[in-house]
Amino acid sequence: MGIDINKLRPIKMLVLDVDGVLTDCRLWMDANGEWKRFYSIRDGVGIKALVEAGYKLAIITGTTATDVRARAKVLGVHYFYEGAMDKWPSFEQLQKDSGISPNEMAYVGDDIFDIPLIEEVGFGATVPEAVDEVLAVASYVTKRPGGNGAVREICNFILKYGHYAKN
């Protein structure tokens, strides 16, 4: 499945799930008994480049965890919603909070909870390890896996073809 650059042209915001997208779904427990995730530095560089280019960034995640909040802060996330497996109310709130319409958003998710958002936004993408139902509805499946360059791949496309692209 190739990339449809026409779907990227209006994009002003990237919205991300966390587990399976920004991470590879693995968890480990630190010495204090806190769960931690591994994040890709490459994904972080891509996200920072998007923010510097004028794009907005949002996270909508079903999890509630201190490491996720800390990573969001480091990345400069503009809008952060956590703790709801039903992501639709957070997505509606994001539209109100940002003033950005769904067709101006790209979303990357990997599980059934992400399907309504993937179908609603202008550019809905997923990772190769996503559940079959998500693979069936996404506009694009990244070549890189979640937590290991998938987000950077999407960031690069948005930087090249999105609303604020310099081409």
CB atoms within 10 A of CB 78: 16
pLDDT digits (tens, 9 = 90+) for 87-120: 999 999 999 999 999 999 999 999 999 999 999 9
How distant, in Å, are the alpha carbons of 20, 34, 134, 149, 164 from that of 23?
5, 16, 17, 10, 27
* 135, two tokens: 């693979």
Phi, psi of 101 (to 5 degrees): -80, 160
Phi, psi of 43 (to 5 degrees): -60, -45
Predicted TM-score (pTM) above 0.75: yes
Q: Domains, the chain, ranges and CATH?
A: 5-161 (3.40.50.1000)
Laid out side by side, the sheet with 123-126 consists of 79-82, 56-61, 13-16, 105-108, 123-126, 140-141
Is 166 a residue whose pLDDT tops 80?
no
| Most distant CA atoms of the chain, gap in Å | 49
Q: Output the DSSP codes for 45-66.
A: HHHHHHHHTT-EEEEEES---H
pLDDT digits (tens, 9 = 90+) for 108-157: 999 999 999 999 999 999 999 999 999 999 999 999 999 999 999 999 99
**How large is the average pLDDT for residues 56-71?**
93
Mean pLDDT, the chain, as a whole number? 94
